[in-house]
Amino acid sequence: MKSSESVKELAEALASAQAELKPAPFDKANEFAGYKYASLNSVIEAAKKVLPKYGLAVTQTVMSEVKDGFYYAGVSTTLLHKSGEWISDSITVPVAPLERLIELSIATDQKGKQALGKSNLVQEIGKTLTYCRRYGYSSIIGISSDEDTDAAEDSGEDSHPETTTEVVNATKAEVKPMNLQEAMEVVDSKGVPYHQLAVSKLQYMSANISKAMKKEGISPEKLHEYKTKLEAIGVLLRANASGEIELPKE
């Protein structure tokens, strides 16, 4: 989290705005994962009813980076106050391994002509950015945009710590790269294997875990658990992008 030298007026304005903000209407549903959520448009519309009244505005810019052989995309979200004060934070999630970028960028149809395929990189980046924008926007103003589901465990709550015991015990002091089989054995709080979750759900979980890892006072055990989950998600997303496995779309 970054901020202007002073955030006094912004903090006062945000506190007043949050007292009036209502949860964004859940106008979308993820049929595979079984949860409802508020779309980006729903979040923005809910915020626009209150933020201008207190001199607040939100702006977002696109980000990308290459890390550990993987291409990440995301957004930087800034909350501005008419006084000039601001706070900002960013989020990026994995999109595709570097060796697949060209292949995903140029898909072909059955006749070999260049065409936009279902795995087209631009489409994947677009979906990722929309997701990151929704997450970043709702987080920085403190508005609810999702049902309280399994994502809660990945944002710092310990409601079902037993679900990752095997994974934590399997990676002791000597940390070895997680293979695909190990990643496919990681399950959520309902016992659903990660590889049965939609790509968008895994990306959402990855974002929440990354956010939780930045919190102060996190225990070494919990940090290890988060890193294990992130590694499992990364392995699955890379395997999906390379065609080794096929994760549910939604």
Q: What angle do CA 120, 199, 132 make, to 5 degrees?
A: 85
In this prediction, residue 30 carries a pLDDT of: 62
Query: What is the Cα 156 distance to its own chain's centre?
Result: 14
12-14-15-16 Cα dihedral, nearest 10 degrees: 90
Q: Quick one: which of 204, 226, 109 has its CA closest to 157?
A: 226
Q: Give me the DSSP letters along the chain.
A: -EE-S--HHHHHHHHHHHHH--PPP--EEETTTTEEE--HHHHHHHHHTTGGGGTEEEEEEEEEEEETTEEEEEEEEEEEETTS-EEEEEEEEEEEEGGGHHHHHSEE-TTS-EE--TT-HHHHHHHHHHHHHHHHHHHHHT---B-SSGGGGGGT--S-GGGGHHHHHHS-SS--PPPHHHHHT-B-TTS-BGGGS-HHHHHHHHHHHHHHHTSTT--HHHHHHHHHHHHHHHHHHHHHHHTSS-----
Token digits for 14?
């945000």
* Percent of the chain with pLDDT strictly greater than 70: 74
How many Å apart are CA 21 and CA 192, to the nearest integer?
A: 34
Which residue is listed with tokens 């989950």?
Answer: 229
| Mean pLDDT computed over 93-101 | 76
In this prediction, residue 27 carries a pLDDT of: 80
Q: Whole-number mean pLDDT of the chain?
A: 77
Greater pLDDT, 67 or 163: 67
Instruction: Give the range among 43-47, 114-118, 225-229 with minimum mean pLDDT.
Output: 114-118
What are the C-alpha distances in Å from 203 to residues 20, 170, 184?
Answer: 30, 24, 16
Query: What is the Cα 21 distance to its own chain's centre?
Result: 23
How many Å apart are CA 125 and CA 104, to the nearest integer?
A: 11
How many Å apart are CA 142 and CA 132, to the nearest integer?
A: 15
| Mean pLDDT computed over 80-106 | 82
pLDDT at 59 exceeding the cut of 90: yes
pLDDT at 247 exceeding the cut of 60: yes
| Mean pLDDT computed over 186-191 | 80
